[in-house]
Structure 1
């Protein structure tokens, strides 16, 4: 994957999600004061969560595929491998997977990236501030300031979990959702932009 392909992948990961979230907002706003408003706001909240979750994973996976053809000198391949496979490698009899925990040559680094991107390992985690921090600092290893999204991630996850579990939850009106909608749009842009900047910075 070259820079152009990475940019296309990142743009695809965010553009239609931003459009769909905007449609959800417009629909909820069109029903202000009506009986459907609360239902539409709950659906909108679920969409915000789902799109942030999947965009984060797709952006991270796209960057790792980029690294497979564009090695990065200061990328910590060992840490990301241990994060995903360290415990399994210790317990598993597979010699190759265990040996990759300490191997640092270019061939080993390529195997690490291939092993991570070749499996649906990202699906085991759900969106939260800790997952955002993990993907930014350990997987993409970019300079995105994830701290500014801490409150957003925490409150969004709390509301999403309550809705998903059928708990009695009242999101009173559209204004409640806007508090998550606008940071979500910002996060989608930041994820794509900072990942691309990181790729450009280390591509030379």
Structure 2
């Protein structure tokens, strides 16, 4: 994957999500039925959460695909490997997996990226501030400002979990959702822009 392909991949990840979130907002803002508006707002909230979750994972996967073709000299391959596999590899792993923890060759770097890009890694966990912090600092190793999204992540996850578990969550007005909608759009833009900055500068 070259830099143009990375940009195209990230743009696709971001663009349709922003469009769908915009459509959800427009639908809720135009709807006049007081009985149906809370349902639309809850559905909108779930959509915001789902798009943040998948966008984070897909941006990271695209970056790792780019990184596998364009190695980064300041990328800490060993640390990210140990984060996922270190304890198991050091204590109980095969010789080949154990050697990856010790070696620091280009071949091992490729194996590390291949292993952490697997479906089982990216399917672990759901969107939260801790997940955002982990992906930005440990996987992408970027200067993404995750702290500025801490409150957003926390309140969005709390509301999403309540809705998903069938609890009586009161989200009745468009203004309730805009509090998550606008930061979600900012998050999508920041993820893409920061990832491209890292790719271009290394």
1:142-198, CA deviations, whole angstroms, 9 ceiling, x for partnerless residues?
111111100000000000000000011111211000000000000000000100010
Residue 191 of structure 2 corresponds to 191
More displaced stretch, 167-176 vs 50-59: 167-176
Alignment partners' CA distance in 1, 2:168 and 2:40: 15
TM-score normalised by L of structure 2? 0.96
Residue 83 of structure 2 corresponds to 83
More displaced stretch, 81-90 vs 60-69: 81-90
Q: Hey, which bits of structure 1, 4+ residues long, moved more than 4 A? A: none
Alignment partners' CA distance in 2, 1:64 and 1:181: 28
Deviation, 1:32, is 4.2
Residue 46 of structure 2 corresponds to 46
TM-score normalised by L of structure 1? 0.95
Deviation, 1:80, is 1.1
Alignment partners' CA distance in 1, 2:123 and 2:35: 35
Residue 154 of structure 1 corresponds to 154
Distance of aligned partners of 1:37 and 1:64 in 2 relative to their CA distance in 1, 3 Å threshold: same
Structure 1 unmatched ranges of 5 or more: none
1:75-121, CA deviations, whole angstroms, 9 ceiling, x for partnerless residues?
01111111122233235432222221222111111110011214331
How many correspondences in the alignment? 202
Residue 18 of structure 2 corresponds to 18
Residue 116 of structure 1 corresponds to 116
Deviation, 1:40, is 0.3
Residue 31 of structure 1 corresponds to 31
Name the SS of the counterpart of 1:120 in structure 2: helix
Alignment partners' CA distance in 2, 1:45 and 1:190: 20
Alignment partners' CA distance in 1, 2:32 and 2:147: 33
Alignment partners' CA distance in 2, 1:91 and 1:163: 41
For residues 108-147 of structure 1, the aligned pairs below 5 Å read 108-147=108-147
Residues 59 and 191, structure 1, Cα contact 8 Å, conserved in 2:
yes
Residue 59 of structure 1 corresponds to 59
Alignment partners' CA distance in 2, 1:78 and 1:12: 31
Residue 173 of structure 1 corresponds to 173
